[in-house]
Structure 1
Amino acid sequence: MKRVTGIGGIFFKCKDPQKMNEWYKTHLGINVSPYGAQFHWKQQIESDENGYTLWSPFPDTTKYFEPSSREFMINYTVENLVALVEELKKEGVEIVDEIAVYEYGKFVHIRDCEGNKIELWEPAK
């Protein structure tokens, strides 16, 4: 079974996300939205499936990264989130929450061996 298939997003804390978005847009040309910026790519060579990696600043007061105290969180794409979560449970990995389903995919959060919160995302087809 495949596990991680790519990086779905990089999220980090900052004092002023709007100011950060504007700085990156002005100085580095990153086209930002309220959710950050998407960097599009193809799922595989010779594939029609598109994917993207999300770059997103969060307010430094966000609780979204908890229970981790780190300033960042990485989102990894996966192929079969339900099956992967079952395997991770068997391996003793801490599952932070239940799988959430949205129109753009399924999500769950886990913690690594140093307590960093990690987001796993199975993109919607």
Structure 2
Amino acid sequence: MEEQKNPAGQSAEDTTPKVTGIGGVFFYSDNPKETKDWYAKNLGFEFNAWGSSGFDSRNMEKPDQVDSLQWSLFKNGDDYFAPSKKEFMINYRVQNLEGLIEKFKQNGVTILDDVTTYDFGKFLHIMDADGNKIELWEPA
């Protein structure tokens, strides 16, 4: 029997340690509530506990899977992006987080914390070469 391939030509059971999408976009605001209200009123954003959740899409490699992107504001001065000095942070959805950690160690990537596990997935924070903090999320 021939191996199943997805549209990108990869095996349907690909477990390569890699980013599979964007899980969230986070940035600072002087007034998060006022800014959220503006986005809701003018652009139709709907918010949940983690931010706006109106950005759902089908996973092309797994069409039955719905992926979402969280858009969230943090109050200026919040230390969630630390040690980065930037005003934004990207959350990348990944597969095989443990494999990525091994790759990071081999490549000298700065790992900021240990893997944290919740009902909805595992998280890890790293720094890129420009000093941007990156949040990695492997969905449960």
The structure with the largest alpha-carbon Rg is 2
- Report the equivalent of 1:24: 39
Aligned equivalents of 1:92, 1:45: Cα separation in 2: 31
| Structure 1 position 112 matched with structure 2 position 128 | yes
- Report the equivalent of 1:9: 24
Provide structure 2 residue ranges, at least 5 long, that are not aligned to the other structure.
Answer: 1-15
**Structure 2 CA distance for partners of 1:79 and 1:45, relative to 1, 3 Å:** closer
Query: Mapping of 1:79-94 within 5 angstroms?
Result: 79-94=95-110
Aligned equivalents of 2:49, 2:65: Cα separation in 1: 25
CA shift for structure 1 position 35:
2.0
CA shift for structure 1 position 46:
6.0
Provide structure 1 residue ranges, at least 5 long, that are not aligned to the other structure.
Answer: none
**Structure 2 CA distance for partners of 1:115 and 1:7, relative to 1, 3 Å:** same
Cα offsets for 1:1-50 (capped at 9, x unmatched):
24111111000000111111100000001112242111111122661111
Structure 1 length normalisation: TM-score?
Answer: 0.94
**Structure 2 CA distance for partners of 1:79 and 1:15, relative to 1, 3 Å:** same
Give aligned pairs, total.
124
CA shift for structure 1 position 89:
1.0
User: Aligned AA for 1:101?
Assistant: T
Q: Percent identity?
A: 45
